[in-house]
Amino acid sequence: MNSKVSATPPSVPGIQLGKRFVDADSLPYVIAEIGVNHEGSLDLAKRLVELAKEGGADAAKFQTYKAQTLASRHSPAYWDTNKESTLSQYELFKKYDSFGASEYEALADHCKKVGIEFVSTPFDDDAVDMLAPLVPYFKVASADLTNTPLLRRVARTGKPIVLSVGAATLGEIDGALVTLRSVGADNIALLHCILNYPTVDENANLHMIGDLAVHYPECVIGYSDHTTPKPGLPSLLTAWLLGAVILEKHFTHDTSLPGNDHYHAMTVDDLRSFRTEVSRVAPLLGSRRKAPIPSEEIARTNARRSIVVARDLSSGHRIEESDITYKRPGTGISPLSWDDVIGRVTSRDLVADDVLQWSDLAR
DSSP state of 321: G
- Does the residue 255 lie in any domain? yes
- Specify whether 302 is located in the same domain as 158: no
Question: Angle at which helices 170-182 and 148-155 pack, to 10 degrees?
Answer: 40
Look up the CATH number of the domain holding residue 238. Answer: 3.20.20.70
| Widest Cα–Cα separation across the chain | 99
**Residue 257 pLDDT grade (very low, low, confident, very high; cuts 50, 70, 90):** confident
- Does the residue 195 lie in any domain? yes
Other beta carbons less than 10 A from residue 40's beta carbon: 13
Q: So what's the pLDDT on residue 240? A: 98
- Does the residue 348 lie in any domain? yes
CB-based contact 246:31 (threshold 8 Å): yes
- Specify whether 228 is located in the same domain as 118: yes
Percent share of the chain, pLDDT over 70: 94
Taking alpha carbons only, the member of 290, 187, 201, 287 closest to residue 239 is 201
Taking alpha carbons only, the member of 92, 106, 105 closest to residue 261 is 92
Beta strands in the chain (DSSP E): 15-17, 20-22, 29-35, 59-64, 117-122, 138-140, 161-164, 188-193, 220-225, 246-250, 306-309, 324-327
Helices (H), 220-325: 234-241, 268-285, 297-302
Asked if the peptide bond before residue 160 counts as cis, ω within 30 degrees of 0, the response is no
- Specify whether 328 is located in the same domain as 208: no
- Specify whether 322 is located in the same domain as 224: no
Q: Is the pLDDT of residue 2 over 70?
A: no
- Specify whether 58 is located in the same domain as 202: yes
Domain C-terminal end among 239, 265, 285: 285
Q: Is the pLDDT of residue 298 over 90?
A: yes
What one-letter code names the amino acid at 78?
A: Y
**What would the pLDDT profile of 84-116 be if each residue is shown by its tens digit?**
677 777 777 777 788 999 999 999 999 999 999
Q: Is the pLDDT of residue 216 over 70?
A: yes
Burial class, 184, CB count within 10 angstroms (exposed 0-12 / middle 13-18 / buried 19+):
exposed
First to last CA, the chain: 66
- Specify whether 278 is located in the same domain as 304: no
* Host domain of residue 93: 15-285
Task: Kindly report the pTM of this predicted structure.
Answer: 0.88
- Specify whether 161 is located in the same domain as 308: no
Q: Is the pLDDT of residue 19 over 50?
A: yes
- Does the residue 169 lie in any domain? yes
Q: So what's the pLDDT on residue 4? A: 40
- Does the residue 157 lie in any domain? yes
**Residue 74 pLDDT grade (very low, low, confident, very high; cuts 50, 70, 90):** confident
Q: Is the pLDDT of residue 276 over 80?
A: yes
Q: Is the pLDDT of residue 79 over 70?
A: no
Question: 222 in helix, strand or coil?
Answer: strand
Asked if the peptide bond before residue 335 counts as cis, ω within 30 degrees of 0, the response is no
Q: Is the pLDDT of residue 58 over 80?
A: yes
Look up the CATH number of the domain holding residue 355. Answer: 3.90.1210.10
Q: How many domains does the chain have?
A: 2
- Specify whether 194 is located in the same domain as 302: no
- Report in angstroms the alpha-carbon separations of 283 from 27, 278, 279, 331, 334: 11, 9, 7, 32, 33
- Partners of residue 61 on adjacent β-strands: 33, 119
- Does the residue 135 lie in any domain? yes
Domain C-terminal end among 267, 285, 303: 285
- Does the residue 6 lie in any domain? no
Burial class, 140, CB count within 10 angstroms (exposed 0-12 / middle 13-18 / buried 19+):
buried
- Specify whether 202 is located in the same domain as 228: yes
- Specify whether 59 is located in the same domain as 179: yes
- Specify whether 270 is located in the same domain as 299: no
- Specify whether 113 is located in the same domain as 42: yes
Q: Can you tell me the distance from the alpha carbon of 117 to that of 16, in angstroms, rounded to the nearest whole number? A: 12
CB-based contact 131:122 (threshold 8 Å): yes
Q: Is the pLDDT of residue 5 over 50?
A: no
Domain C-terminal end among 239, 268, 285: 285
- Stretch 219-226: mean pLDDT: 98
**What would the pLDDT profile of 315-344 be if each residue is shown by its tens digit?**
999 999 999 999 999 999 999 999 999 999
Q: Is the pLDDT of residue 189 over 70?
A: yes
